[in-house]
Amino acid sequence: MNDMTGTGLHTGTTVAKISARGVQVHYGTTHALKDVDVDILDRAVTAFIGPSGCGKSTFLRCLNRMNDTVASAKVSGRILLEGEDIYDARVDPVQLRAKVGMVFQKPNPFPKSIYDNVAFGPRIHGLTRNKGELDQIVESSLRRAALWGEVKDRLDSPGTGLSGGQQQRLCIARAIATSPEVLLMDEPCSALDPIATAQVEELIDELRSSFSVVIVTHSMQQAARVSQKTAFFHLGHLVEYGETAEIFTNPKDPRTEAYITGRIG
Ligand SMILES: Nc1ncnc2c1ncn2[C@@H]1O[C@H](COP(=O)(O)OP(=O)(O)OP(=O)(O)O)[C@@H](O)[C@H]1O
């Protein structure tokens, strides 16, 4: 039984970090997302899966108002982060994105040093009082992103000089440096080789001890490996949402079954 009152939405013994109700997205005349309801749990990985164009990225981008940057996008419905409506006029999207961080498909480090990439968010949000505190955040973020050992002796080198997998871990370090509550990842491994993919997947598993992680993936194997919850989207509908093991072994909806058995995709 759901309870939309208080600071979070209670779902049995667990508390939703994000609660979406009746979310619709139009891009001009394209109705990309249709009446999506979902509760995303804290300290768990949620995977969004589904065929190309089904609305996974659109919904992910609703969760930190990235669709605000798309002129034709119109979002309606409610999305609560710990009970607070993120589309409320009083919410500053820049502050919101510090709380709901994002990692993109293609690693996109800034053309700055490794240190400055990670220090960027804490600096613009004024999270530190002095250089010592900033150094600490940079080090701890790089450690948590499992990159510190590889870069600690070249923090002044450009982030763009790292390998693809290292760049993606740098982007994860940059995203977690502002101590977000939620980390959104849009196909974070699609540009990586299998070794770098395995490293990022391992990292995702570690990050869920501190954050709510939401990942869009085209790989059902990846969803099965990294997530506890899975949401299956089809033609703009959230068709089925539940425990990952349940979705992959005992799907309730024939469309989910058709997708996971490779009959649609
Ligand atoms: N900026 C945009 N302008 C217009 N239409 C868009 C835009 N972004 C997405 N769409 C449309 O919205 C629908 C959902 O797209 P979305 O990218 O969310 O799907 P997806 O499931 O993430 O797809 P993929 O797996 O291919 O990345 C599609 O019909 C797409 O063409």
- More confident: 230 or 15: 230
| Domain assignment of residue 49, yes or no | yes
pTM value is: 0.92
* Cβ atoms within 10 Å, residue 261: 10
User: What residues contact 236, with CB distance under 8 A and at least 6 apart?
Assistant: 31, 32, 33, 34, 54, 55
Residue 6 has pLDDT above 60, yes or no: no
Smallest Cα–Cα separation from 215: which of 148, 224, 173, 35? 224
Task: Name all residues whose Cβ lies below 6 A of ligand 1.
Answer: 27, 30, 32, 50, 52-58, 70, 72
Residue 8 has pLDDT above 50, yes or no: no
pLDDT score of 265: 72
How far, in Å, is the centroid of ligand 1 from the Cα of 218? Answer: 14
Task: Dump pLDDT digits (tens) for 173-217.
Answer: 999 999 999 999 999 999 889 998 999 999 999 999 999 999 999
How many domains, the chain? Answer: 1
| Domain assignment of residue 250, yes or no | yes
| Domain assignment of residue 81, yes or no | no
| Domain assignment of residue 16, yes or no | no
pLDDT score of 14: 64
Nearest CA to ligand 1 atom 28: 53
| Domain assignment of residue 19, yes or no | no
Nearest CA to ligand 1 atom 4: 27
Give the structural domain span for 207. Answer: 42-54+89-261
| Domain assignment of residue 60, yes or no | no
| Domain assignment of residue 69, yes or no | no
Task: Dump pLDDT digits (tens) for 25-68.
Answer: 999 999 999 999 999 999 999 999 999 999 999 999 999 999 99
| Domain assignment of residue 63, yes or no | no
CATH of the domain at 231: 3.40.50.300
